[in-house]
A and B are shown apart, each in its own frame.
Chain A
Amino acid sequence: MLFDPEIFFQQLVSPEYMWGALISVAVAVLSLILATLIGFFVALGRTSRKRSFQAPANVYVWFFRAIPALLVLLIMWNALPQLIPIFSQDWFTPFIAAFIGLGLVEAAFMAEIIRSALLSVDEGQSLAGRALGMSPTKVMLKITLPQAIRIALPPTGNEFIGLVKYSSLASVISLRELLTTAQVGVNITFRYAEYYAAAIIYYLIIVTILTLLQSMIEKKFAWTSRATVKKSRALAPAAKAGLS
């Protein structure tokens, strides 16, 4: 049995594969957003001086770093509806279970990324903000966080790519993401090479786009006047005189 390019291309452009890829990316995006939100507050807890904030944050990171993501997904999808009636209702789809489950696990890792990013912002920065009379919240939002984001960006990009691949774990809770789509096709046709190759192409495309996106965002955080001067020139030629 030779590699049949026709089957390969057929699958590559099939709506099933595109839908599967979209589901994979959507799960990754939503779980990363959830993970960043939870991770930020967990990181605040872990960097806090108060033990009552520290302790729950430490427990969170300890717990979710220890439990395999696969197990979390199985618990989310199988155990949770048995324990809590709300989760046995129709709204709780495999998609929602997948992105919340992966988001919860990922939050433990994002918390560590954000924590180290917050700690690596020079102490003099918050000192200068406080000296201006800024409240602790303002110092965090206007000074520390923007600088921490730049530090956290590269590792977050890594995590994002990881999440795209982790989304394939959701096949165990019958979410038809990219890999499940390939697997279902294979089970019918036994054309392993063609179906898997099509999946590889999709993963390559997704990760390429994410990598480009990441370098674009990182350029935004370069903090040099070159980018802004170019931008303001393009947007408002009249402002040029005021700039230099």
Chain B
Amino acid sequence: MTQSAAVAQEAPAVNQPILHVENLQKAYHGQEVLKSVDFEIRKGQVKAVLGPSGSGKSTMLRLMALLEPSDGGSIKLRGETIGTKEHRGRTVHLPERLLARQRQDIGMVFQKFNLFPHLPAVRNVMLGLTSVKGVSHHEARELAMEMLQRVGLENRAEHYPSELSGGQQQRVAIARALVLNPSVMLFDEPTSALDPELVGEVLDVMENLAADGMTMIVVTHEVRFASRVASEVSLFDGGVIVEQAAPDQFFNNPKHERTKRFLSHVH
């Protein structure tokens, strides 16, 4: 709370956050996974979220992507509340049909890629355009090819996911999310399922994306990537954000004991 207030003071009033999460809560079977998460990201920012496994980082992303209902709190996308609405003084979750519309503006990249195995790479990228945005087949193909070019895979367009390496699959998955031109891209441990030698090509694509001004939230274990690319790094643990700071300060001069302990393990 105090952190988001501090950030708000620094930034000019017109520059409202792209995504703003307040007091976000989630429990599974009585187990609190998100206790109270406050988080915001502005246009062009890249926020890296670090933290031990099972700390709730991925859950936070899924809630932000409206893939799971929250138990409390609010999510605002460009100033507008998404996922829920006020109805007779109570907060209710929107029906799936409306959620689907709101999700179009949020890109999501999964740890396990989740490419559609029955479609070639280019079709994977096209599907959102043709079946969600109503773009014509021809135009969708052109846009998809452009996007594949951007992730360096235009020569793999007709290959099926099973014929691509993990790194290539994840790059297609990035292109698939990117082609819908979302306001913010969420990455859920995008390199955790990859062989070590394939991590670099995915991080390169993400770094280029960041350089092009994409707003990104990256849950990751890649400390080097976080320190080099992120504009802000957060430590997530026990269902809350423990520390949030610019990478330089986060890695070299962390305030919290918990952060120091975490960094001593990963370095």
Question: Which residues of chain A are within 8 angstroms of B131 by Cβ–Cβ distance?
Answer: 134, 138, 142
Between A and B, how many residue pairs show CB distances below 8 Å? Answer: 89
A244 touches which of B97, B127, B128, B155 (Cβ 8 Å): B155
Q: Flag if A135 contacts B100 (CB, 8 Å).
A: yes
Question: Which residues of chain A are within 8 angstroms of B65 by Cβ–Cβ distance?
Answer: 131
Question: Which residues of chain B are within 8 angstroms of A150 by Cβ–Cβ distance?
Answer: 118
A35 to chain B, nearest CB (A): 24
Q: Flag if B155 contacts A130 (CB, 8 Å).
A: no
Q: Flag if B67 contacts A131 (CB, 8 Å).
A: yes
| Complex Cα spacing A225 to B164, Å | 11
- B residues 182-198 near A (Cβ < 8 Å) are none
- B residues 149-190 near A (Cβ < 8 Å) are 155, 157-160, 162-163, 173, 176-177, 180
A94 to chain B, nearest CB (A): 41
Contact A124:B114 (CB < 8 A) given known A133-B100, A224-B163: yes
| Complex Cα spacing A122 to B110, Å | 13
- Whether, in the assembled complex, A91 has its beta carbon less than 8 Å from a beta carbon of chain B, the answer is no
Residue of B nearest to A133 (CB): B104
| Complex Cα spacing A232 to B122, Å | 15
- Whether, in the assembled complex, B112 has its beta carbon less than 8 Å from a beta carbon of chain A, the answer is yes
Interface residues on A, range: 20 to 34
Q: Flag if B117 contacts A133 (CB, 8 Å).
A: no
Question: Which residues of chain A are within 8 angstroms of B157 by Cβ–Cβ distance?
Answer: 243
- Whether, in the assembled complex, B103 has its beta carbon less than 8 Å from a beta carbon of chain A, the answer is yes
- B residues 79-131 near A (Cβ < 8 Å) are 96-97, 99-104, 106-108, 110, 112, 114-118, 120, 127-128, 131
Q: Flag if B158 contacts A131 (CB, 8 Å).
A: no
Contact with B along A125-152 (1 / 0, CB 8 A): 1011111111110100011001100100
- Whether, in the assembled complex, B132 has its beta carbon less than 8 Å from a beta carbon of chain A, the answer is yes
B79 to chain A, nearest CB (A): 20
A231 to chain B, nearest CB (A): 11
- Whether, in the assembled complex, A184 has its beta carbon less than 8 Å from a beta carbon of chain B, the answer is no
* 4 interchain residue pairs of minimum CB distance: A133-B104, A128-B114, A124-B114, A131-B108
Interface positions of A (Cβ within 8 A of B)? 122, 124-125, 127-136, 138, 142-143, 146-147, 150, 221, 223-225, 228-229, 232, 243-244
